[in-house]
Amino acid sequence: MQHCPSPTCPYRVRKGVASECADTATACPDCGGALAPGEAPAAVTAGDDAPAHVPRSLRLRLVVTAIGVALIVALGYVSLLDVGDLPAEVVGAFRFAGSPFSLIAVGVTPFLTAYALVELVAVAVPGLRARRVGGREARAPLRLAADLLGLALALLAAYGFAVGVQYVSSYGGPPLGLFPTMLLGFGGAVALRLLWWILDAGALTGGVALLLFTGAVLELLDVTSDALTRANLEGTTPVAALAPMLVVGAVMVVMLALPAALRRGLGLTASPISLPTSGVSPMADLLVFVALADRIAWLAGYGFDAPSLLDPVAGDLGFIVVLAVLVLGEGWLFQRPRRVARLARGLGHPGSDLRATRRAFVIGSALTLVALSLSGLLVSHVVAIATVLAVALDLAASWRFRRVHGALVPVRDLHRVYAVTPALAALERAGVPAHADGRCFRALFPFFASYAPVVVLVRPEDEDAARACLHRGLHAGDPVAADVAGAFAP
């Protein structure tokens, strides 16, 4: 009999006692850490190690998070102009959450588009690949480039917004000058980026995750309201009207909130490959270049119709076939078994066995395909549901860890989801309690979420040891990251 000695193991946090495993187990199925011989010690609760009161730093972060979410909601419902009788395609081009032509709708697209474009360039240019995976210091020029590009695209968005205002004026809307209208749109984008930065620094999780979380909540509230209204008119029960969304939510909870139990049941405990293997929106990624070009064109006041595969008809056989190809293809790109095994080997993780990693990839891809197919057949708001659940889980995990350990400092940004489990296990073996902030949210978007890295957080007194541990392990198992090892050593 073996047990997991980690005080931050998810099983111990939930149950108050260390998890026990058979002698044949090579790692803890819940946290991926090393196992200790013998049975679990006497039961303890997670609160035994926590301070008697909530730390002041945590209370402050909770306040910042609440105020930030409230501001995002307000910005989402404060429209910069009355859309009047505008055509639906024009309104849709400037709608993110809440009201069309709101500060969020005008401001969010430029920066998210800029980060996606910079990430594509970093992948394509050999000299930038090392920076892409080299951590916070290495990625600093990429972040600067993305923000500058975001400001440039925000100017285009402001111009497109001004064109929209003039279009409204032709329908009897309020006549505004071009420059004041552009100033409103650009100011909204800059204000949103500043709010994003403040939340990154002071909230319980990343600013853009909270932004997308709030937008998804607003979207689901609208969908729920429409479903209940329709149920009332048709004479059906509210439960029946919301059943598809509830089923999809249950599927996502299993994939995001219960990964340890799922891995145990499928025999995937020996590999750090994450679930889902290719995110929750592989259909959109198929035509990401077209989608980006379409969005940039809209920002400039023009537009064209993207191919219909971006909005597939649920239940169509072609949709299922293309989805299967994308799940396997994107899973291989994002979590290539040989690359996963090599990185795990550098960090001393038991999942370095290539055969076990390939098996986990095949089973994980099949499970992802089934889950996404089922979700897509039931409801069209899969991404919104998954985003709400993922960010909620990240917020809860951040609260629990900070409740026990108090103030934390960032030591490493991880942009590859499969690196998270081996990195945390390596820190645990070094005696450093660590938290991976944004882990669930990033699992939904393995590539096109460079604006929301998984941030490894530790106590201030463990900062130097954690940096050294991760630097050695990550660069030992990753020749690409090793290209910048000398310049960005701890």
Predicted confidence band at 198 (pLDDT cuts at 50, 70, 90)?
Answer: very high
- Res. 465 pLDDT band, cuts 50 70 90: very high
d(C-alpha 476, C-alpha 469), whole Å = 11
Task: Compute how many other C-beta atoms are within 10 angstroms of the C-beta atom of residue 197.
Answer: 12
The pLDDT of 292-299, averaged and rounded, is 57
The residue type found at 176 is: L
Mean residue pLDDT across the chain: 75
pLDDT average, residue stretch 220-228: 83
Is the overall model pTM greater than 0.85, yes or no? no
Where do the domains of the chain lie, and which CATH numbers do they carry? Answer: 1-49 (no CATH), 56-389 (1.10.3370.10)
Does 355 or 53 have the greater pLDDT score? Answer: 355
**CA distance linking residue 387 with residue 371, whole number of Å:** 15
In order, the DSSP letters of 362-407 are: HHHHHHHHHHHHHHHHH-S-HHHHHHHHHHHHHHHHHHHHHHHH-S
Cβ atoms of 345 and 271 within 8 Å: the answer is no
Strands of 434-437's sheet in order across? 409-414, 454-458, 434-437
Length of the chain (residues): 490
Mean per-residue pLDDT, 8-18: 69
CA distance 221 to 319: 27
Please, which residues have CB within 8 angstroms of residue 441's CB and are 6 or more apart in sequence?
205, 206, 209, 387, 390, 391, 394, 449, 452
Tell me: the pLDDT tens digits for 229-269?
Answer: 888 888 888 777 788 788 777 777 777 766 666 666 666 66
Residue 155, burial from CB neighbour count under 10 angstroms (0-12, 13-18, 19+): middle
So what's the pLDDT on residue 456? Answer: 94
Assess whether pLDDT exceeds 50 at residue 165: yes
CB 175 within 8 A of CB 169: yes
Q: Would you say 113 and 292 are in contact if contact means Cβ atoms under 8 Å apart?
A: yes
- Average pLDDT, integer, range 102-129: 80
Are 255 and 248 in contact by the 8 Å Cβ rule? The answer is no
* Stretch 25-48: mean pLDDT: 67
